[in-house]
Amino acid sequence: MAKPIATLRSATNIPTGRLAVWWLLASEIVIFGGLLASYIMHRLGHPEFGDYASHTNTLLGGINTFVLLTSSYFAVRAHFEAEHGRGATAAKWLYATIGGAVAFLCIKSYEWTHEISEGFTITKNAFWSFYYIAAGLHGLHVIGGALIMFIVAQDAKKNRELQRVELVGLYWHFVDVVWIFLFPLLYIAK
């Protein structure tokens, strides 16, 4: 589909796609912000949340933090290659980023299976409700990001729509940053 002229204009000198992704992230920040603010208010009012949090697996959470940060580095490499017009290489780095997402989800599944088998389910109490819903919402973003990166990589391979490599990278950094907030709040604060 040809793009309307509206899409090609740039009164702010910021490409339309990048502008839109920033607005998307702004609205996402408020979603996670509301969730985390609610959690923090509960956490402050319920010291016993600290005891519950001691049942989370800090080591695996830490490894996952490392995995996500590494995948963000791959996303930066993809952006670098795309900027220089090397779509095929950019696609390879995007696949590496997707690999990071998959590793993250595998570790997450192992963690959750373990916790659920010990009886710490989403209905156990408010802490575990928050734990699963915050990490779950984040996990959905990881899955969504991986799918979008896959689609972008298909175009990038053929040197098409290379600007999207940067845009999906922006999104991926955001997913990363959300985890940087979740990890200390849910795992470390005991």
Partner 1 sequence: MATPHEHAHPPDEHGHDHGAGHDHGHHPQSFWSKYVFSIDHKMIAMQYMFTGLAMGIIGAYFSYVFRMQLAYPGHHVPGYGVVSAAEYNMLVTNHGTVMIFWLAMPVLIAAFGNYLIPLMLGCDDMVFPRLNRLSYQIFLLSALVLIYSWFVQGGGFGGAWTAYPPLSAKSQYNLTPAGSSLWVVAVALEFVAFLIGGINFVTTAMNSRAPGMKMFDMPIVIWMIVLASMLFMGSVGPLVAGAVMLLFDQTIGTSFYDPVHGGDPILWQHLFWFFGHPEVYVVLLPATGIVAEIITVFSRKKLFAYKTVLYTAFGTGVLSFFVWAHHQFIAGIDPRMANVFTATTVLISIPIAEMMFVFVATLYGGSIRLTVPMLWALAFIAEFMIGGVTGIFLGSSGSDIYFHDTYFVLAHFHFTFVPIAFISVMAGISYWYPKMFGRMLNETLGKIHFWGTIIPFNGIFIPLFLTGMAGDHRRIYNYNNFPELATEHMVHLREFATVSLLVLLAFQVVFIINFFVSLKSGKVAGNNPWNANTLEWQAPSPPPHGNFAELPNCYRGPYEYSSPNREKDYWPQNESV
Q: Which positions touch partner 1 (CB under 8 A)?
A: 1-12, 14, 16, 19-20, 23-24, 26-35, 37-38, 41-42, 45-46, 48-49, 122-123, 125-127, 129-130, 133, 137
Q: What would the DSSP string read from start to end of 52-76?
A: HHTTS-HHHHHHHHHHHHHHHHHHH
Q: How far is the CB of 128 from partner 1 (least distance, A)?
A: 8
- Closer by beta carbon to partner 1, 19 or else 180: 19
Q: Which residue has the tokens 């699963």?
A: 132
Q: How far is the CB of 75 from partner 1 (least distance, A)?
A: 22
Measured CA distances, 9 to 17, 160, 174 (Å)? 11, 20, 26
Sign of the C-alpha dihedral, residues 103, 122, 40, 145? positive
Sort 2 into a burial class: Cβ within 10 Å, 0-12 / 13-18 / 19+. Answer: exposed
Q: How far is the CB of 140 from partner 1 (least distance, A)?
A: 10
- Closer by beta carbon to partner 1, 41 or else 180: 41
Q: Give which of 47, 11, 15, 55 is closest to 186, Cα–Cα.
A: 55
Q: How far is the CB of 45 from partner 1 (least distance, A)?
A: 8
Give dist(CA 173, CA 163) in Å, integer: 16
Q: Are 10 and 156 in contact (CB under 8 A)?
A: no
Q: How far is the CB of 188 from partner 1 (least distance, A)?
A: 20
Q: How far is the CB of 92 from partner 1 (least distance, A)?
A: 28
Give dist(CA 68, CA 181) in Å, integer: 13
- Closer by beta carbon to partner 1, 74 or else 130: 130
- Closer by beta carbon to partner 1, 35 or else 96: 35
- Closer by beta carbon to partner 1, 4 or else 119: 4
Q: What would the DSSP string read from start to end of 74-85?
A: HHHHHHHHHHTT
